[in-house]
Amino acid sequence: MPRSKTGKTRLSVDSNAIENAVNAVLSGDKKISLREACKVYKVSLTTLSRHLRKFKESGAKQFSYLVKYDVKRIFTNEEQTLVQYMQTIARMQYGLTKKGVRELSYRFAKTNKKKFPPKWEHDKMVGEEWMCLFMGRHNKSLSLRKPEPTSLSRSTSFNKTNVNKFFNNLEDIHSLFGPIPPKENGIQMKRH
C-alpha cells in the first residue's frame, strides 16, 4: 500500500468565478440562468448547482466560497514553530530520532489542544503516515539521525577562549614559516 494516495485529476476551481456565478444567478436585476452562468464564468454545472443548493439551505445572507482541503490538517501555522523547535534541539547537540520526533509532535498537539486521531492518544505518538508526510514537507530543513554521544570534556572545551588560542597559535606559525610550512611534520604547536 503506498504511503500517499494519488488523487484524481480534477479541474481547479476558481473561487472568484464561483462567487460571481452564484451572485449572478441569485441577483434580482440581472438574473441569468444556471447553465448560462456556467458558460459565462467557466464553472462546472454540478459544482455551481451544489454550491447554490448549500447556500440556499444555509439561509445565509451573503455567499462566500470556502476551500475544504485544510479540514483534516492537525497543525496549520504551528507546524513551522514545531520545525524551528526541532532545529534548536538539533543545534544543541541533542539529536533527534524518528521516534523522538513522533513523541514530540504528539506532545505538541496535545499541549496546543489540537484535534487528532484516537490512535495517537493510545500510542502516545503521532502515526507513521503523518510522520512520513511531515518529513516530506520539511526534508530540506530537518534531518533525523541517530545521535552520536559527545563527551562532556569535548563539548565544554570547545569554547571561545580555546578556539582563540588555536587561531593565535596558527597565526604565530604563519608569521614564522609563511602561509605554507615547508615541512609540516616538524612543526609543533606550543601549548599554553
The average pLDDT across 78-104 equals 87
Which runs of consecutive H residues, i.e. helices, occur in the chain? 15-26, 34-41, 45-58, 78-91, 98-111, 118-123, 128-137, 152-157, 160-177
Positions of CATH 1.10.10 in the chain: 15-58
Q: What is the pLDDT of residues 33-79, one digit of tens each?
A: 889 989 998 888 998 898 888 888 887 777 777 766 556 677 778 88
pLDDT value, residue 62:
78
* Report field, pTM of the whole predicted structure over 0.85: no
Which residue in 17, 13, 158, 5 sits closest to 72, CA to CA? 5
The average pLDDT across 4-14 equals 72
The span from the first CA to the last CA of the chain, in angstroms, equals 63
From the candidate CATH numbers 3.30.420, 3.90.1200, 1.10.10, 2.40.70, the one assigned to the domain spanning 15-58? 1.10.10
Q: Collapsing DSSP states into helix, strand and coil, what is residue 108?
A: helix
pLDDT value, residue 180:
65
pLDDT value, residue 175:
84
